[in-house]
């Protein structure tokens, strides 16, 4: 498991403005929690290969319009239909679903980790898509020619209808009304990292894994300092019981 050196590197990378944060590098640093010695460079190269495949696919795509919403479609077919990326329905709460190295190797994960793969591949292919921190289920959006947004469920590469989004929204919030526009905005890198760490926090609280929970809380305390996180971290350090919470998305 990563130690103080990894924590210092995480802190160093977080010092940059949000628009300059390397979300893939930050995510791969968290993989040290699952097992030491993760070769960050090797996994970034794997994403580079996927990005090159996407560029080739776009080069030969027929009837592909210029808008990101048009150009993302061949990439979705490549990742989900051809390469077999998919949501882990068999074991949704497997911690490996939150570790980018395992997601790349196993081609399965949760909505957030699969969104990171999709965003990374699209960026390398020159397609402008964005993450959306939607309640209960992380999404990806791409602009149409009209300026409207196409919303994608990264769990299975599905293009969402408005009706489906309303169902997702109501199931997560209990609100049957219109979707709050704040939940359709672009997610910042820090929001993405916070959501990933909170997913891991939920898993290790439920398992009572104090060692890994401490790792997660230490990183959260650097990302979003708060008294609540410091109290929970102190509790873990003192080996006191913590009430589990579970909410992965």
What are the extents of the domains in the chain?
Answer: 4-237
d(CA 196, CA 27) in angstroms, rounded, equals: 8
Q: Convert the pLDDT of each residue in 105-125 to its tens digit.
A: 999 999 999 999 999 999 999
d(CA 158, CA 9) in angstroms, rounded, equals: 36
Which residues lie below 8 Å from residue 138, measured CB to CB, with a gap of 6+?
111, 112, 115, 131, 132, 154, 187, 195, 249
Q: Convert the pLDDT of each residue in 38-70 to its tens digit.
A: 999 999 999 999 999 999 999 998 788 899 999
d(CA 234, CA 194) in angstroms, rounded, equals: 19
Please give the model's pTM, rounded to 2 decimal places. Answer: 0.92
Buried b or exposed e, range 86-123, using 16+ CB within 10 angstroms: bbbeeeeebbbbbbbbbbbebbbbbbbbbbbbbbbbbb
Q: Which two tokens stand for residue 130?
A: 């964005």
Q: Convert the pLDDT of each residue in 179-208 to its tens digit.
A: 999 999 999 999 999 999 999 999 999 999
pLDDT band at 37 (very low <50, low <70, confident <90, very high): confident
């Amino acid at each position: 498991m990563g130690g103080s050196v990894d924590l210092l590197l995480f802190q160093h990378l977080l010092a940059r403005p949000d628009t300059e944060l390397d979300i893939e590098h930050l995510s791969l640093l968290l993989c040290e929690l699952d097992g030491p010695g993760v070769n960050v460079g090797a996994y970034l190269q794997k994403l580079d290969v996927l990005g090159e495949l996407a560029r080739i696919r776009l080069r030969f795509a027929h009837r592909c319009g210029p808008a990101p919403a048009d150009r993302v479609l061949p990439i979705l077919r490549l990742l989900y239909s051809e390469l077999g990326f998919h949501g882990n329905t068999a074991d949704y709460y497997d911690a490996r679903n939150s570790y980018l190295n395992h997601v790349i190797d196993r081609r399965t994960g949760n909505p957030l980790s699969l969104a990171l793969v999709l965003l990374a591949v699209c960026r390398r292919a020159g397609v402008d898509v964005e993450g959306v921190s939607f309640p209960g289920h992380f999404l990806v959006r791409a602009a149409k020619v009209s300026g409207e947004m196409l919303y994608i469920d990264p769990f299975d590469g599905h293009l969402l209808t408005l009706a489906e989004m309303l169902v997702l929204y109501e199931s997560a919030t209990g609100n049957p009304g219109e979707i709050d526009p704040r939940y359709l905005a672009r997610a910042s890198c820090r929001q993405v990292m916070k959501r990933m760490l909170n997913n891991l926090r939920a898993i290790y609280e439920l398992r009572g894994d104090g060692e890994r929970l401490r790792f997660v809380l230490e990183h959260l305390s650097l990302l979003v300092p708060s008294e609540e996180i410091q109290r929970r971290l102190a509790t873990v350090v003192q080996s006191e019981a913590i009430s589990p919470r579970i909410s992965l998305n």
